[in-house]
Structure 1
Amino acid sequence: MRNPPFDSDDLAATEAFLNDAYTRVRIGNHGARRVRARIRRAALGTVNFDQLDLGFDMTYDAEPLGRVCLVTVHSGRVEQHRSAGGSDTFAPGQTGVLTTHDLPFSGVVRTSRYDITLFDPVILDRLTIAEGGGRVRVNGHRPISPAAGRRLRRVLTHLQQIAADPETATSPLTAASAADYLAATVLATLPTTAASEPTGTDRRDAHPETVRRAITYLESHLSEKVAITDVAAAAFVTPRALQLAFRRHLDTTPLEYLQRLRLAAAHEQLRAAAPGDGQTVAAVARRWGFPHPGRFATAYRRHYGRTPGQTLRD
């Protein structure tokens, strides 16, 4: 879902907008260029995707955002000063963590066009647990490898496209699926405090009964927002034990299994559609948490050997 764009050539108006949209911040013009700020925002549930184009060198000194902020630079530079000392510079083609949710931040945006993605770190807890308990945190500013950085950028671009489409962005199930997609990608590409290995208790709990209880829960919550933590609680095990059980006994993950169940539900809805009832492939895909019709069609054909459009017409 897109919000009204912001366009201004006034420094005070730009500062007021940033205070309203993000957090308390003081800005200044650090160079000779006149102020020019263009900001576009799209959202998927609680995740925001902002495109910023600043035609001047803007200094900033901000209070904590309360959200993790990822940055992808397309032109210019974004220089971030760390509260613990030191600095980092994001150049064109680079993606990383501009700031974590609970720390103040400052720096200079040097005539840059860049994207930022803002999300509550609680979405990471939906998929895993932290070492030693507590909340999962992003504890590094750069992807773990160049390949991880490329993967993160691809996913952020894909989610931006979904958020810009009003037909998909307003679906609660799409927003929840997109948040899980983002969380899984962040956990795989950035340094975090997520636990990496199952404990002895997790291994003991990874038995077929755990899988049976989890499947029962998934089948009764297909059209709802589902988090790994919810499924694990229903199966009376930890998220790590749940993931290990699915991998050991079904050679898949809980979320991949959930996607298969939702694919089957979409298949049944397409088969049950009557001529003239207004059903479309895109609407059915959105109904079951598939925001991108093309990817839904690919998965459907791989599973059923025909396109969803053929099933709908027949």
Structure 2
Amino acid sequence: MNSMVFDSHDLGMTEDFLSRAYARMHIGSGSPGTGRARIRRDAVPSVSIDELDLDFEMSYSVTPLGRICLCMVHEGTIQDHAFGDVRDDFGSGDVVMLAPPDQPYTGRICAARYNITMLDPQLLNEVAAAGGEPLSEPVRLTGHRPHSPAAARHLKNTIGYLRDNVLANPMTVDEPLLVSTSTQLLAASVLAAFPNTARTDPTAQDRSDAHSATLRRAVAYIDDHPDQPLTVAEIAAAAHVTIRALQYAFRRHLDTTPLTYLRRVRLAQAHRALHAADAADTTVAVVAARWGFSHPGRFAALYRAAYGTSPSGTLHG
């Protein structure tokens, strides 16, 4: 994990820092406000989440970043934002995509407190693409605003969860299973929130491939690799089918999804680890994080539903 904190009243230093950390920026002379900038970044290789509080007016001109760049405004406004044919202003509560990864954009920050979330576009492909096969073209977001208020709320909640419970938590961010699961959740939330080119309905061939042998290959692969940061694409590749066929096979034969089955296998591994652990040497939170569960309350609820007792009851039993 990489973490970074910047706090300064010097506009020259702030302009230089922002230009190096993001892209070319210009803070106008005589900008209203105290001139204070407070910035925190928490990042893993595929995702970064920044919280910025800029008490002045600043213009930006950003070259293509090669990443999906989302902006969530807490206070203040972002005005005259432009890329391609898009012209828009953003205010408190808005969550938007600033531009496609291959396009530049410009605009003005007007004394705003906001969040910037950047993710590798490959994460979208891993969630939506055909398993194990190169995409004919990458998945693209085709609109810069979410398609509904409910989708926007879900995306904001996902970003907040990833920021507070994974990236900013030293205990969880070093657990590869937890980071992999959380970044896939973010990518899925982005695809659910914005119009995009991904196709998720199974084709006739996918339905034909969703037979019991496909399920057996996928289950065997999951059972043999629960300690690895698996993606749906990797499981589909191991089963020699597309993601859509894999998902359809799990729905048809087990009435569940591949990731729900994977979570069940990891829960069983956590159960075994708690049984074998010495309560003097470990905690429920450590075991849960090792097997990809970052939220203690959710882990406890899943555990009790599966085993009829609490995780701490197993550890101290």
Q: 2:292 aligns with which of 283, 289, 292?
A: 289
Identity between Structure 1 and Structure 2 (%) = 47
Superposed counterparts of 1:294-309, under 5 Å: 294-309=297-312
Unaligned runs of 5+ in 1: none
With the length of structure 1 as denominator, give the TM-score of the two structures. Answer: 0.94
Report the equivalent of 1:26.
Answer: 25
**Quick one: distance in 1 between partners of 2:44 and 2:181?**
10
TM-superposed CA distance for 1:2, in Å, is: 6.0
SS at match of 1:274: coil
4+ long deviations beyond 3 Å: none
Pairing of 1:161-240 with structure 2 (within 5 A): 161-162=164-165, 163-240=167-244
Q: Which structure 2 residues correspond to residues 254-265 of structure 1 after superposition, within 5 A?
A: 254-265=258-269
Aligned to 1:69: 69
Superposed displacement of residue 212, structure 1: 0.6
Give the paired residue count. 311
Can you list the C-alpha shifts for 1:246-278, whole angstroms capped at 9, x where unaligned? 1111111111110111001101111112353x1
Q: How many angstroms apart in 1 are the aligned matches of 2:270 and 2:100? A: 38
Out of 207-216 and 80-89, give the one that drifted further.
80-89
**CA distance in structure 2 between the aligned counterparts of 1:83 and 1:141, rounded to whole angstroms:** 10
CA-based RMSD:
1.7
Amino acid at match of 2:8: S
Shift of 1:295: 1.7
In structure 2, distance between residues paired with 1:245 and 1:128 = 16
Give the Cα separation in 1 of the matches to 2:282 and 2:277.
7
Indicate if the aligned counterparts of 2:2 and 2:44 stay in contact, CA closer than 8 A: no
Structure 1 residue 155 and structure 2 residue 154: aligned?
no
1:147 is displaced (CA, Å) by 0.7
The one-letter code matched in structure 2 to 1:93 is G
Distance in 2 (CA, whole Å) between partners of 1:208 and 1:288 is 28
Residues 40-86 of structure 1 show CA distances to partners (whole Å, capped at 9, x for unaligned) of 11124421110000101111011011111111111101235333233
Normalising to structure 2: TM-score of the pair?
0.93
String of CA shifts for 1:129-183, please: whole Å, max 9, x gaps: 28x8321122211111111111111111111112111111122222111111111
Partner of 1:252: 256
Matched-pair contact (CA < 8 Å) for 1:72–1:96: yes
SS, match of residue 127 in structure 2: coil
What CA distance in whole angstroms lies between the structure 2 residues aligned with 1:20 and 1:196? 39
Contact 2:60 2:108 in 1 (8 A): yes
Q: What is the distance in 1 between the residues matched to 2:196 and 2:259?
A: 20
In structure 2, how many angstroms separate the alpha carbons of the residues matched to 1:127 and 1:138? 14
| Match of residue 10 from structure 1 | 10
Label 1:233 to 1:143 Cα distance change in 2 as closer, same or farther (>3 A): same
CA contact (8 A) 2:25 2:58 kept: no
Query: Which amino acid is 2:11 matched to?
Result: L
Residues 209-259 of structure 1 deviation map (CA, whole Å, 9 limit, x = unaligned): 111100111111111111111111110001111111111111111111101
State the 1:196 CA deviation.
2.9
Contact (CA 8 Å) 2:84, 2:103: kept in 1 or not? no
Contact 2:79/2:107 (<8 A) preserved: yes
Q: 1:32 to 1:44 in 2, by over 3 A?
A: closer
**Distance (Å, rounded) in 2 between the aligned partners of 1:301 and 1:10:** 53
Looking at structure 2, the residues matched to 19 and 298 of structure 1 have their Cα atoms a distance apart, in angstroms, of 46
Deviation, structure 1 residue 282: 0.6
Q: 1:306 to 1:82 in 2, by over 3 A?
A: same
Letter of the 2:158 partner, please give it. Answer: V
Aligned to 2:121: 121
Contact 1:80–1:98 (Cα < 8 Å) also in 2: no
Deviation at 1:18, TM superposition (A): 2.2
Q: Which amino acid aligns with 1:284?
A: V
> Is 2:107 the counterpart of 1:104?
no
Distance (Å, rounded) in 2 between the aligned partners of 1:260 and 1:21: 40
Structure 2: gaps (5+ residues): none
